[in-house]
Amino acid sequence: MTLLKEPDFGTPERPGESTVTVEVDGLPVTVPEGTSVMRAAACAGIDIPKLCATDSLEPFGSCRLCVVEIDGRRGTPASCTTPVADGMRVRTQTPKVEKLRQGVMELYISDHPLDCLTCSANGDCELQDMAGVVGLRQVRYGYEGENHLDAAPDLSNPYFDFNPSKCIVCSRCVRACGEVQGTFALTIEGRGFDSKVSPGAGESFLDSECVSCGACVQACPTATLQERSVVELGMPSRSVVTTCAYCGVGCSFKAELRGDELVRMVPYKDGGANEGHSCVKGRFAFGYATHPDRVLKPMVREKITDPWREVEWEEAIQTVAAKMRAIQDAYGPSSIGAISSSRCTNEEVYVVQKMVRAAFGNNNVDTCARVCHSPTGYGLKQTFGESAGTQDFRSVAEADLIMVIGANPTDGHPVFASRMKRRLREGAGLVVVDPRRIDLVRSPHIEAAHHLQLKPSTNVAVINAMAHVVVTEGLVDRSFVEARCEGFDEWAQFVALPENSPEATEPITGVPADQLRAAARLYAQAPNAAIYYGLGVTEHSQGSTMVMGMANLAMACGNIGREGVGVNPLRGQNNVQGSCDMGSFPHEFTGYRHVSDDAVRTVFEELWGRSLLPEPGLRIPNMFDAAIDGSFRGLFVHGEDIAQSDPNLQHVSAALAAMDLVVVQDLFLNETAKFAHVFLPGASFLEKDGTFTNAERRINRVRAVMKPKTGKHEWQIVCEIATAMGYPMAYDHPSQIMDEIAQVTPTFKGVSFELLDKLGSVQWPCNDEAPQGTPTMHVDAFVRGKGKFAVTAYVPTDERTTSRFPLVLTTGRILSQYNVGAQTRRTGNVAWHPEDLLELHPLDAENRGITDGDMVTLTSRVGSTTLRARVSDRMPPGVVYTTFHHPVTGANVVTTENSDWATNCPEYKVTAVQVGLAHPLERHATDSVGTDRLAAVD
């Protein structure tokens, strides 16, 4: 495959029904009204020279290279900033414009290094290309005199360099930072000849507000901003379009290679989720795939205290199969199970749950989605009839009011956050419901109308109070409710009760009643209002209740079934949605159909040739409990580090240590592997062929950039284990697995690799009724028929503060790191976040004698850890916050086993804790699990 070059039309598309016809160099072309002359010419196959213009940015008109002549008009207007008019006749190549362009190019080249042959951008430099296009043959001005050739480079960023000596001050990087990313970290400093791109007065790129999304690098037409990987490895020569394996946004990338070595990841303009944008993780943090820490050979050991022994694949697979069978012979069919991963492909997840049900002979399969978004599946299924979000990401462009609840999109879902910020800059209102003051509350050109800074665990009380306002103030969309919903009267009577009023709930939630009333009115009265939420909703004891509460509010206000509205979960990992879709829960087959449904079970039994159990299997917490009581003895862990990511790690560790066989399949020897008897090396996303399903139900192709470094595909390994256990499973290609998924899953009926390769991506349901997918759900009717209002009583969490544990800990993510950090900690991203920090309010810090940067102990009822303090007013008094990306900190050492009443999703967001200064001589901290954790001190 050659390097995939995407066409650049110079200026953005202007969609619209009205069209005009113009003539460019004698060629007629019809384009939407408002289209630029430059884009119209490109549509006619005529490329006008340009440097400051690119179709991801609004026209700027500064380089003067794109001048044209237009019959009947004076002068030579810039084609990028000139809109077409019906009957316009444009001439792009005349002696006059050619002379002007050559003169402009001479000025650029006279202040530019003449090192094209040795420049890292040679062959991929627009300045070089345009010099050839305009026919520049000489520079009359010479190269003497004042210039910028000695400008010092900025080498601070771990991924790209800034060389101002090559900058032509086209402002594309500055505009990309503002228009595309929305960070506004870059500016043009100075005037005239002294103009230069700056990340802030006296600041380097690393120390500035730059988030390293790569938009500036992508926009730069020269080698001014250049990836270090390109400098070191050379220009790539071929491309493979694939999908990012980080968060649930599901960005499409061109993996660009030189030979078999990955040089860079370039965001793909045709990517349905990202449309050419990226974040620091997807764009740059791919080095973990070739990190020397990767384990590439299978390993076995008899006891977890023994050293590992490398073996061949045959021995490893036979060892797993024999020991799993032996455990079942001794302890019964239900004594073993598996945990699948939201980081793996749909095809890999599908074969894991098939192995459990058909080869293990039980339903003991669960997924890491249990500990993040299982309340989403339950709550939306109960109210709407489908366990997934309602919109596509583009829908946010039509929202008039955006309510963000328990999510931090700029850190957790940055590419979607850029879309959202664009809409907010255009005038949409914003309500943020979060205990922490996230960046969206106030950032460049954005300010929330209301920040409802609630106490952790009181989400349901807040959403009920908002619903109280809607019902009691007559803001209900009666026509929508009467036509499309049921159960409204009972729900309305409930939320109208005085105890659900903003005034009554204020002492519970901490949210001022007047603010809450104003926010509720904004939501109810907006033409289009959308809810976006995250783990701050689901990881609570009432996570499922809160999801139903948000669904209630959306239905009451008619905010379902069209663009710009909806209830939209922001999934944490790349394939959380897909892992749930694929039947990874112990009570459901693919497509969220219960195992007790005889008709559904028969479909699988006939295809798989095995009788299947109608009773649900064990959830992850049940597996741990059963391991400790001795009835659950063997576990296959596929791509998850449960010994770092699950709550109450003391309990998790005890369960893992109690088992006779723990099999871990992953890239690295992680915390869970410390308890493993067999380690099966996994494949990175660069070695996978299959699909991911993102938070908007978009099924994206994942294409292998290189062969598996381990010699085997992950789906192949699972199939060989099942076969060795006596149930033959074999596929020639993952496309066959998707064909089987489509055969047994109604929402995937029309999905195939062929369709995805043709369309790029589709959003399920994709079937006979929607052969090209479904961007917006519940348009004319809910999946369940009528939307169901559910009574959502607020029940306080069992986790309470006391004099011994007076603070509440809540947790979250940060932009540069991902999940438990196994991938990002092995990349340059550690430059931004080398350790987890504990944020606490200045008042709480002062009361404890803590200053910024002190090492402190964080203690709960179940454990203790040590980390560095950051004094910050982002949190209200009484609430502390940390991330969970570094095992040396182990934030989940202190989180408890409290969980959602319906799904057992852990209550990560509410833990009663105490914080105190660590002993000044302490250089190590040993938590309650017994792991030695280095705690550096000043």
Say what percent of the chain tops pLDDT 70: 98
**Confidence band for 2, pLDDT divided at 50, 70 and 90:** confident
Instruction: Say if residue 765 is preceded by a cis peptide, omega within 30 of 0.
Output: yes
**Among 41-50, 142-151, 405-414, which is the least confidently predicted range?**
142-151
- Identify the helix (H) or strand (E) that includes residue 42: helix 37-43
393: left (phi over 0), alpha (psi -120 to 50) or beta: alpha
Question: Model-level pTM?
Answer: 0.93
640: CB partners within 8 A, 6+ apart:
339, 340, 341, 343, 368, 666, 672
The token duo for 540 is 């609570």
83: left (phi over 0), alpha (psi -120 to 50) or beta: beta
The CA-based dihedral angle spanning residues 110, 111, 116, 120, taken in that order and rounded to the nearest 10 degrees: -170
- CA–CA separation, 430 and 254 (whole Å): 34
Amino acid occupying residue 133: V
Amino acid occupying residue 309: R
**Confidence band for 920, pLDDT divided at 50, 70 and 90:** low
Give pLDDT, residue 929: 35
Question: If we measure between CA atoms, which residue out of 233, 324, 242, 245 comes closest to residue 285?
Answer: 245
Amino acid occupying residue 522: L
- Identify the helix (H) or strand (E) that includes residue 20: strand 19-24
Q: Which backbone phi and psi does 272 adopt, to 5 degrees?
A: -65, -30
938: CB partners within 8 A, 6+ apart:
853, 855
**Among 200-204, 262-266, 496-500, 548-552, which is the least confidently predicted range?**
200-204
Determine the average pLDDT of the residues in 241-260: 94
User: What are 667-718's pLDDT values in tens digits?
Assistant: 999 999 999 999 999 999 999 999 999 999 999 999 999 999 999 999 999 9
**Confidence band for 928, pLDDT divided at 50, 70 and 90:** very low
Top mean-pLDDT range of 196-205, 640-649, 730-739: 730-739
Give pLDDT, residue 896: 84
- CA–CA separation, 624 and 653 (whole Å): 9
- CA–CA separation, 649 and 813 (whole Å): 19
User: What are 884-898's pLDDT values in tens digits?
Assistant: 888 777 777 888 888
Do the Cβ atoms of 196 and 167 come closer than 8 Å?
yes
Helix (H, G, I), strand (E, B) or coil at 701: strand
Do the Cβ atoms of 188 and 174 come closer than 8 Å?
yes
The token duo for 122 is 């040679």
Q: Which backbone phi and psi does 458 adopt, to 5 degrees?
A: -105, 20
Helix (H, G, I), strand (E, B) or coil at 568: strand
The token duo for 813 is 């993510």
How far is the first Cα of the chain from the last one, in angstroms, to the nearest whole number? 52
The token duo for 326 is 């032996």
The token duo for 579 is 């892992």
- CA–CA separation, 775 and 780 (whole Å): 13
- CA–CA separation, 92 and 750 (whole Å): 46
- Identify the helix (H) or strand (E) that includes residue 621: helix 620-629
Do the Cβ atoms of 333 and 717 come closer than 8 Å?
no
Helix (H, G, I), strand (E, B) or coil at 401: strand
Give the length of the chain: 938
Do the Cβ atoms of 137 and 207 come closer than 8 Å?
no
- CA–CA separation, 36 and 33 (whole Å): 9
Determine the average pLDDT of the residues in 713-737: 97
Give pLDDT, residue 642: 86
Give pLDDT, residue 713: 96
877: CB partners within 8 A, 6+ apart:
841, 843, 844
- CA–CA separation, 61 and 144 (whole Å): 28
Question: If we measure between CA atoms, which residue out of 539, 590, 509, 547 comes closest to residue 764?
Answer: 590
Give pLDDT, residue 935: 27
Question: If we measure between CA atoms, which residue out of 718, 747, 459, 822 comes closest to residue 577?
Answer: 747
Do the Cβ atoms of 542 and 413 come closer than 8 Å?
no
- CA–CA separation, 163 and 153 (whole Å): 4
Give pLDDT, residue 521: 98
Question: If we measure between CA atoms, which residue out of 822, 823, 797 comes closest to residue 810?
Answer: 797
Residue 484: half-sphere exposure toward Cβ, Cα within 13 Å: 24
- CA–CA separation, 642 and 368 (whole Å): 8
- CA–CA separation, 684 and 675 (whole Å): 22
User: What are 99-147's pLDDT values in tens digits?
Assistant: 999 999 988 988 898 888 889 888 889 999 999 999 888 888 777 778 8
∠762-764-765 over CA atoms, to 5°? 130
Spell 197-212 as b/e; 16+ CB within 10 A means b.
bbbeeeeebeebebbb
Strands 89-91 and 196-198: unpaired
**Confidence band for 925, pLDDT divided at 50, 70 and 90:** very low
| Mean of the per-residue pLDDT values of the chain | 93
Determine the average pLDDT of the residues in 837-846: 96
- CA–CA separation, 128 and 121 (whole Å): 9
DSSP 888-905: TT-GGGT--S-B-TTT--
835: CB partners within 8 A, 6+ apart:
867, 868, 886, 888, 889, 936
Lookup result for tokens 């749909």: 346
- CA–CA separation, 87 and 222 (whole Å): 36
For the chain, counts of helices (H) and of strands (E): 28, 40
Do the Cβ atoms of 271 and 279 come closer than 8 Å?
no
The token duo for 756 is 């995805």
- CA–CA separation, 99 and 92 (whole Å): 12
**DSSP state at residue 394:** G
316: CB partners within 8 A, 6+ apart:
298, 299, 300, 678, 680
DSSP 165-210: GG-----HHHHIIIIII-----EEESSGGG-EEESSTT--TTTSS-
The C-alpha R_g of the chain, in whole angstroms, comes to 29
Determine the average pLDDT of the residues in 200-228: 92
User: What are 419-433's pLDDT values in tens digits?
Assistant: 999 999 999 999 999
Give pLDDT, residue 921: 53
Residue 582: half-sphere exposure toward Cβ, Cα within 13 Å: 36
**Alpha carbon of 402 to those of 236, 422, 568: distances in Å?**
41, 12, 11
**Confidence band for 371, pLDDT divided at 50, 70 and 90:** confident
Q: Which backbone phi and psi does 371 adopt, to 5 degrees?
A: -95, 15
Q: Which backbone phi and psi does 678 adopt, to 5 degrees?
A: -135, 130
